[in-house]
């Protein structure tokens, strides 16, 4: 029987960068008890001798020749930016105060 506590959900929400209300965390923790039980069924047949599949196609690295091709103009690339300055994306402070 797998389960998650409210604190586990809080930690996961932090890792996933999603702010969550107390109610949301408690509800998710409750739901996860049921959902994890259901998905844990995969362990019944996933024995050591079975190779994992990550992708439906047997692809190896795909290369292309390195030729210059048209790309987005700076205006187009910035067209969806929430904020911009001097032809750059303006973003909130990333590093802490010195």
Partner 1 sequence: MAAQLAAGEVTSVALTQAHLDRITAVDTDVHAFLFVDTQGALEQAAAVDAKRAKGEKLGPLAGVPLALKDVMAQKGIPTTAGSKILEGWRPPYDSTVVTNLKKNDIVILGKTNMDEFAMGSSTENSAYGPTHNPWDLTRIPGGSGGGSSAALAAFEAPLAIGTDTGGSIRQPAAVTGTVGVKPTYGGVSRFGLIAFSSSLDQAGPCARTVLDTALLHEAIAGHDPKDSTSINAPVPQVVQAARAGDVKGMKIGVVKELNGDGYQPGVRARFEESLELLAKAGAEIVEVSAPNFEYALAAYYLIAPSECSSNLARFDAMRYGLRVGDVDGASAESVMNLTREVGFGKEVKRRIILGTYALSSGYYDAYYGSAQKVRTLITQDFTNAFLKADVLVSPTCPTTAFKIGEKANDPLAMYLNDIATIPVNMAGIGGMSLPSGLADEDGLPVGFQIMSPVMKDERMYSVGAALEAALLSKWGAPLLDLAPVMGGAK
Q: Note the residues at the interface with partner 1 (CB under 8 A).
A: 4, 8-9, 12-13, 15-20, 24, 28, 31-32, 34-35, 38-47, 50-57, 59, 62, 64, 72, 76-77, 79-83, 89, 91-94, 96
CB-neighbour burial class of residue 19 (10 A; exposed 0-12, middle 13-18, buried 19+):
exposed
Shortest Å, Cβ 37 to partner 1: 9
CB-wise, 1 or 51, nearer to partner 1? 51
How far is 38 from 35, CA to CA, in rounded Å?
5
Q: How far is the CB of 98 from partner 1 (least distance, A)?
A: 14
Cα dihedral 86/87/88/89 (nearest 10): 100
Element (H, E) at 38: helix 22-39
Nearer to partner 1, 7 or 40 (CB): 40
């Amino acid at each position: 029987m797998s389960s998650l506590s409210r604190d586990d959900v809080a930690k996961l929400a932090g890792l996933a960068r999603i702010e969550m209300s107390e109610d949301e965390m408690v509800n998710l923790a409750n739901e996860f008890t049921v959902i994890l039980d259901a998905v844990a069924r995969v362990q019944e047949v996933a024995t050591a001798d079975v190779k994992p599949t990550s992708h439906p196609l047997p692809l190896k690295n795909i290369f292309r020749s390195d030729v210059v091709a048209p790309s987005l103009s700076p205006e187009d690339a910035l067209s969806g930016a929430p904020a911009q300055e001097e032809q750059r994306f303006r973003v909130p402070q990333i590093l802490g105060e010195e």
